[in-house]
Structure 1
């Protein structure tokens, strides 16, 4: 399975771009703090989908999808921290991206679980 053909991977790559653009506006004092942390977490999402897709079986892919789900929750939490700290304003479009990607990840995981 080629990860680049998966909608869930494509959507997660879109989220990487969005988060990088969003964090460009964070204060310089956060360069090695929140900016670095949220960027690392968001990059982890498509990276884990890709790594899991390259593994030998669906069981391993499912494990990497769980890691991607955890990273997505981390990114959303860090976004909410940035909102509370007033580094960014609340963004409904971005929040809907989180929901959409979460549904895609869970749907893909559930599909793989049913294949067994």
Structure 2
């Protein structure tokens, strides 16, 4: 297994870094993506952590954690279990949640991005 990290920074008009995205990809010895973690922090948005696990390019598990703007409390804290494209189980630890289909689509975005960076 090997892990790579890609970071993108968001700058304001003065060139100061005010946010960004860090993407951690864990791949096996064959280059298959096993896990992707995205840490997102953008101006005027809640910080968020997205964690996706794959088996043969198919999402098996996701965890979505979104924080309030100060990062001191969670707004969304959910776990999603998938079998193919079918949601098997969703565990929400907060009242707010992200739709399971949206989670699957977000995971596909990061999977496609990850494949492009590993080629």
TM normalised by structure 2 equals 0.32
Choose between structure 1 and 2 for higher RCO, CA contacts under 8 A separated by at least 6 residues: 1
**Structure richer in helix, relative to its length:** 1
**Structure richer in strand, relative to its length:** 2
TM normalised by structure 1 equals 0.32
